[in-house]
Amino acid sequence: DQQVKQNSPSLSVQEGRISILNCDYTNSMFDYFLWYKKYPAEGPTFLISISSIKDKNEDGRFTVFLNKSAKHLSLHIVPSQPGDSAVYFCAASDGGGSEKLVFGKGMKLTVNP
Amino acid sequence: DTGVSQNPRHKITKRGQNVTFRCDPISEHNRLYWYRQTLGQGPEFLTYFQNEAQLEKSRLLSDRFSAERPKGSFSTLEIQRTEQGDSAMYLCASSFRGRDTDTQYFGPGTRLTVL
């Protein structure tokens, strides 16, 4: 049973436009959510996180929104750049990030010049 | 570079052989995690340590797998009698157990291929 779901396997956007990556979760005990970016043959790179006590967190071009009632979070990248092309993973934890992370299957983002 | 390091980066072995991977966490981090990633999937949790104590093991970690962190610094993951289904990317992450929230930082991974 997948507790973290990224239902769209891929997304293609034009450089300069907004990229919106979505993630749904089923476990109401999750209290900490993270987004990682992964290039081929490399480990995941941490992007941004959000605690369940917040509904928005922003870091430069990256903003994560959390809707607890819908058990949904999204990552917005504005403006999108070709270097953002990678696989993005949504992850969740029920221990503030100190416990195991549960990952979605990932979504491939392609930003076209 | 002060990030998480893993060795080797690639390992090819024959079925039935034993393999061992090493992870060196970020120096001030007291938690260390192992995950496994197969093609088309996200990383799956295997086990984690706080200092030298192994606090949780996934049911994915069969009795052929063993992990250690003897001095609370580096960790090793050993797979005995490898099977083709063990072929995957093995990822290590570390974090500092703080008061509120932690962020796990990942190493580059070890790609295991079992022939």
The predicted-structure confidence for B26-40, as pLDDT tens digits, reads as follows: 998 999 999 999 999
- A7-50 pLDDT, tens digit per residue, is 999 999 999 999 999 999 999 999 999 999 999 888 999 999 99
Q: Could you say which of B44, B45, B95 has the minimum Cβ distance to residue A98?
A: B95
Tell me: pLDDT of B100 over 70: no
Q: Could you say which of A4, A43, A46 has the minimum Cβ distance to residue B91?
A: A43
Pairing of strands B110-114, A107-112: unpaired
CB contact under 8 A, A36 and B101: no
Distance of CA B111 to the CA centre of its chain: 11
Chain A hits for B104, Cβ within 8 Å: 34, 46, 97, 101
CA distance B107 to B92: 6
Q: Is A34 on the interface with B (CB under 8 A)?
A: yes
Is residue B70 reached through a cis peptide bond, with omega within 30 degrees of 0 on the bond before it? no
Suggest the residue from A32, A37, A98 to mutate for an interface test with chain B (most B CBs closer than 10 A). A98
CA distance B91 to B114: 17
CA distance B42 to A61: 24
Chain A hits for B48, Cβ within 8 Å: 99-100
- A83-110 pLDDT, tens digit per residue, is 999 999 999 998 766 789 999 999 999 9
Q: CA-nearest residue of chain A to B42? A: A105
